[in-house]
Structure 1
Amino acid sequence: MDHAFALLTGRPISLYAAAVLRIGYGLIYLGFLLREFTHRDEIWGPDSPWTPALARELFQQTGWFSFLTWWDSTLYLDFCYVAAVAVCALFLLGWRTRLMSVLFAVVVAAFHARAIFMTDGGDNLILLMALYLTCTACGRHWSLDARRRARRARGGRPGRWALWRAASEVWSQAGPARASVVTTVHNCAMFVIAAQVCLLYGSAGLYKVQGASWQNGTALHYVMNLALFRPWPGLSALVDGHPLFISFASYLTVLLQIAFPFALFSRLKYVILVLLLGMHIGIAVLMGLPIFSGAMIVADAAFLPDRFYRACGDLCRRAFRSSDGPAAARHRPAAGRSFVPTQPGDATTLPAAGGGA
């Protein structure tokens, strides 16, 4: 119990993974709204077959809500649509992330509820993750908020007004307690996200294994011949022309989904994550479900350690610096040297940078 309590309250875990979730789901929903911009009135507008009156009647039974049904006006829909696009973009960039995470969840819930009969498993997962991300510190890294904090730490301007300075001082004094609460809530939310993904894969695998077509390895054959999920009929026919591959892929799909929750605490999970990545790419291409596949790939990214994302970030920075050319390298300071001169009275030893969580 002491170890579990220390794990929840000691330091925030998977901060880079939370940032990847923020970027991934913000990008997916932003792309979704931009893609459906020309069809917005047919899906969410007053001229939709599922009218606002029908939606409000359903809300009375289910308890859902959507601000898109407050006024039956095309102009109001356009205003809400532009505002939703802006919220998704700001959430993706990590600007005022705590506020934007709440607004992003409201936007996803509103659009989801307004056209509830046009959603699929990918939309359901994005909605759940948007709600969970409101409790995470997903703006700590790779965000405009992180960049602003870094600039402020390097010597930002103090507050201009006395009231602002007093409020800042009170806020800083409450820092330890606030940090403990934020850490606990963030860690709990990340555990819930992990549990949600494990439940999704485990239940999907157990449901599949009960079906006769999955037991005899022919399930994907029928999937390849569904007219609704054949964006590339020639490619589907080509894949379906290899019965041995179809059978192997059917059994492997069930095995991966059932084994995923049990492989989280071993290095086997990295092999399973790579195979799941290939599976979701195949679903996106062969079945024409890019939103669902993208949502699942982003959810799987929560299980990669922060050291992996730090290594990726360092690799990208080195690649970007090397692309500057030798001219920029000559003007770049050498490693271990600083342009700031030593001041009298400076301490000879300093704590290592980056030691904090």
Structure 2
Amino acid sequence: MIIKPYDKKIGTTILRVTFGIVLLKDFINYFFNRKFLFGNEGIVSFETYLDIIKFYKLNWLYIDFTIERNVKIFCVMGIVFSLFFTLGILKKISTLLIFFILFIFKICNIYLIDSGDDVISVLLPFLLFVDSYSLVDSYEKFSQKVKSRYRDLFDLTSRIFSFAIMFQICIIYFFAALHKISAEVWQNGTAIYYILNSEDFSGSFLNSYITKPVWLVMFLTWFTIFFQFMFPFLVWTKRTKKIMLLLGVLFHLGIFFLMRIDNFSIIMIACYAIFLTDEEYNFLKLKFKLNFLPA
């Protein structure tokens, strides 16, 4: 197979598989905690769900979650189609169904929404139009045969929406930086101190040591703003792209270990996969013998 300079099929596959595993984990969790999350005595009342449905005029998405069978059906559907999505089977159908199932669940229980889920929900529609490998060889061969007749159109569409995903990630960082700049604790360099010492985000015994030196707190606070603000500009050039991606991986690993924001950290690191071309992945595959990467 001829690799074109801007092909991102490997990166898109890594992104899709990571999203799929996270979604599969979440839907399994929803299934085993369905009474607490969605039942009559759950953390969000059914009346609140009805109010949200009426307020946003989403009657066509109404599901009676007072019936446990309905909750089970939607949880199982989420698990099955997340598995399909991960493996790359019926990619477009599974992507579309997962998007709506997630939307229905989040209307029913507003506490399911977190920053990681928001990123997935925003990017899922773009993944409808990008090309990626199936992890099932027989299905991948069948899929390539179907697409062979309109290969140029599929390649162009995939390229456009791959760029759209990258642009969307840049938007996320840019507006996150703008939001921080407007807050006094980020301006004076103390935000990281309060975040790492709060009960909600104190995920490691290292937090107290990291926040003792004033210079380190101020550096981490201002570095966060600098990174999020500069990422949308520096990630597009060859000279600075790899540096920004490496800094981003370290940045989100820090969030993962110090703040225990698991899904968001994993998802954002996975998003970096699409910034590398197939040519760059094949170079890495040969250099570091990464045989698990698709060819």
Q: Give the alignment's TM-score, normalised by structure 1.
A: 0.72
1:289 match: 261
2:103 match: 109
**Deviation, structure 1 residue 53:** 3.6
Does residue 252 in structure 1 map to residue 223 in structure 2? Answer: yes
1:69 match: 63
**1:36-81 per-position Cα deviation (integer Å, ceiling 9, x unaligned):** 4432221233432323342132122224579672352122212221
Does residue 148 in structure 1 map to residue 136 in structure 2? Answer: no
From the superposition, tell whether residues 256 and 152 of structure 1 become closer, same or farther in structure 2 (CA, over 3 Å).
Answer: closer
**RMSD of aligned C-alpha atoms?**
2.9
**Deviation, structure 1 residue 92:** 0.4
In structure 1, C-alpha distance between the alignment counterparts of 2:166 and 2:59, rounded to whole Å: 27
Q: Secondary structure at the match of 1:316?
A: coil
From the superposition, tell whether residues 17 and 38 of structure 1 become closer, same or farther in structure 2 (CA, over 3 Å).
Answer: same
In structure 2, C-alpha distance between the alignment counterparts of 1:96 and 1:11, rounded to whole Å: 27
In structure 2, C-alpha distance between the alignment counterparts of 1:303 and 1:64, rounded to whole Å: 36
1:236 match: 207
**1:98-125 per-position Cα deviation (integer Å, ceiling 9, x unaligned):** 2222222222222233222441222111
Tell which structure's C-alpha radius of gyration is larger: 1
In structure 2, C-alpha distance between the alignment counterparts of 1:193 and 1:112, rounded to whole Å: 23
In structure 2, C-alpha distance between the alignment counterparts of 1:187 and 1:65, rounded to whole Å: 36
In structure 1, C-alpha distance between the alignment counterparts of 2:94 and 2:211, rounded to whole Å: 45
1:282-321 to 2 correspondences below 5 Å: 282-313=254-285, 315-317=289-291
**Deviation, structure 1 residue 97:** 1.8
Structure 2 residue runs without a partner (length 5+): none
In the alignment, is the contact (CA less than 8 A) between 1:12 and 1:184 conserved in 2?
no
Does residue 185 in structure 1 map to residue 154 in structure 2? Answer: no
**Deviation, structure 1 residue 142:** 4.8
In structure 2, C-alpha distance between the alignment counterparts of 1:151 and 1:209, rounded to whole Å: 50
**Counterpart amino acid of residue 236 in structure 1:** N
**1:163-214 per-position Cα deviation (integer Å, ceiling 9, x unaligned):** xxxxx9xx78xx64x3344333322221221111111111111222232222
From the superposition, tell whether residues 57 and 279 of structure 1 become closer, same or farther in structure 2 (CA, over 3 Å).
Answer: same
2:16 match: 22
From the superposition, tell whether residues 310 and 114 of structure 1 become closer, same or farther in structure 2 (CA, over 3 Å).
Answer: farther
In structure 1, C-alpha distance between the alignment counterparts of 2:139 and 2:25, rounded to whole Å: 26
Does residue 266 in structure 1 map to residue 238 in structure 2? Answer: yes
**Counterpart amino acid of residue 143 in structure 1:** L
In structure 2, C-alpha distance between the alignment counterparts of 1:318 and 1:203, rounded to whole Å: 35
In the alignment, is the contact (CA less than 8 A) between 1:136 and 1:190 conserved in 2?
yes
1:159-198 to 2 correspondences below 5 Å: 176=149, 178-198=150-170
From the superposition, tell whether residues 200 and 70 of structure 1 become closer, same or farther in structure 2 (CA, over 3 Å).
Answer: same
Q: Secondary structure at the match of 1:229?
A: coil
Structure 1 residue runs without a partner (length 5+): 1-9, 154-167, 320-353
In the alignment, is the contact (CA less than 8 A) between 2:15 and 2:273 conserved in 1?
yes
Q: Secondary structure at the match of 1:267?
A: helix
1:334 match: none
- Higher RCO (CA 8 Å, separation ≥ 6 residues): 2
% identical aligned pairs: 21
In structure 2, C-alpha distance between the alignment counterparts of 1:130 and 1:45, rounded to whole Å: 27
In structure 2, C-alpha distance between the alignment counterparts of 1:270 and 1:259, rounded to whole Å: 13
